[in-house]
C-alpha cells in the first residue's frame, strides 16, 4: 500500500490522534478547477496533531458559500518536521488534502509543494502551500495559501 493510500485510509477511518488547538493566520485562494471560480480564504481555526499521523489542520467557512466548512491538512512523518521544501509524492512527507464539511468530501493532492519554516524553539510553523487535487471525476481544486501556526 502506498503512503498516499495509507494516509487516505487513516483519514477515512476516523482514527483519533492527540490534538491541541493552536493559533495562527492563513490567507490565500482556493480555485474550483471545474467552474474556474477563485475564492479568497482565511481561517481562524488551527490544530496540530501528534501521534502516528502527525499533521496540521487549518479550517474555516467553506469559500463556496454553502454554509459548510473547509479544512486543509498537511500530513507529516514526524511531530516536528524540519524546515524545507516538501513535494507531493516525495519521500519526506505524507502529503496534503482539502476537504469540505459536513459532506466529508476529501480531495487529496496529486501535485504541489509546501515550503515550510519550523521555528521549534517557539513552536511556530510558517509556510506556503500550493497543490492541486483530483479524485475520480469529482471536483478538482487548486489551493494556494500562506500560513503561520503558533503553539503545539
Q: Where are the domains of the chain?
A: 3-150
> What kind of fold does domain 3-150 have according to CATH?
Lipocalin (2.40.128)
Rounded to whole angstroms, how far apart are CA atoms 39 and 101? 17
**Facing residues of 148 across strands?**
25, 126
pLDDT average, residue stretch 35-53: 89
* Assigned C-alpha cell, 86: 516538501
Rounded to whole angstroms, how far apart are CA atoms 133 and 73? 13
Predicted TM-score of the model (pTM):
0.82
Q: Which residues contact 71 (CB under 8 A, 6 or more apart)?
A: 57, 58, 59, 98, 99, 101
pLDDT average, residue stretch 33-60: 90
pLDDT average, residue stretch 37-54: 89
The pLDDT, as a whole number, for residue 119 is: 85
Average per-residue pLDDT in the chain? Answer: 84
Q: What is the tens place of the pLDDT at every residue in 77-115?
A: 988 889 999 999 898 888 999 998 887 788 999 999 999
Rounded to whole angstroms, how far apart are CA atoms 138 and 129? 22
Amino acid at each position: 500500500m502506498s503512503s498516499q493510500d495509507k494516509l487516505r485510509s487513516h483519514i477515512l477511518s476516523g482514527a483519533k490522534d492527540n490534538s491541541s488547538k493552536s493559533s495562527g493566520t492563513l490567507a490565500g485562494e482556493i480555485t474550483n478547477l471545474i467552474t474556474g471560480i477563485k475564492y479568497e480564504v482565511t481561517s481562524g481555526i488551527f490544530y496540530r496533531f501528534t501521534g502516528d499521523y502527525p499533521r496540521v489542520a487549518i479550517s474555516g467557512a467553506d469559500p463556496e458559500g454553502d454554509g459548510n466548512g473547509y479544512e486543509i491538512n498537511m500530513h507529516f512523518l514526524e511531530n516536528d518536521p524540519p524546515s524545507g521544501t516538501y513535494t507531493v509524492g516525495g519521500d519526506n512527507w505524507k502529503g496534503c488534502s482539502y476537504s469540505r464539511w459536513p459532506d466529508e468530501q476529501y480531495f487529496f493532492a496529486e501535485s504541489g509543494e509546501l515550503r515550510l519554516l519550523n521555528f521549534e524553539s517557539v513552536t511556530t510553523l510558517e509556510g506556503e502551500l500550493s497543490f492541486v487535487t483530483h479524485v475520480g471525476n469529482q471536483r478538482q481544486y487548486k489551493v494556494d495559501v500562506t500560513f503561520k501556526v503558533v503553539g503545539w
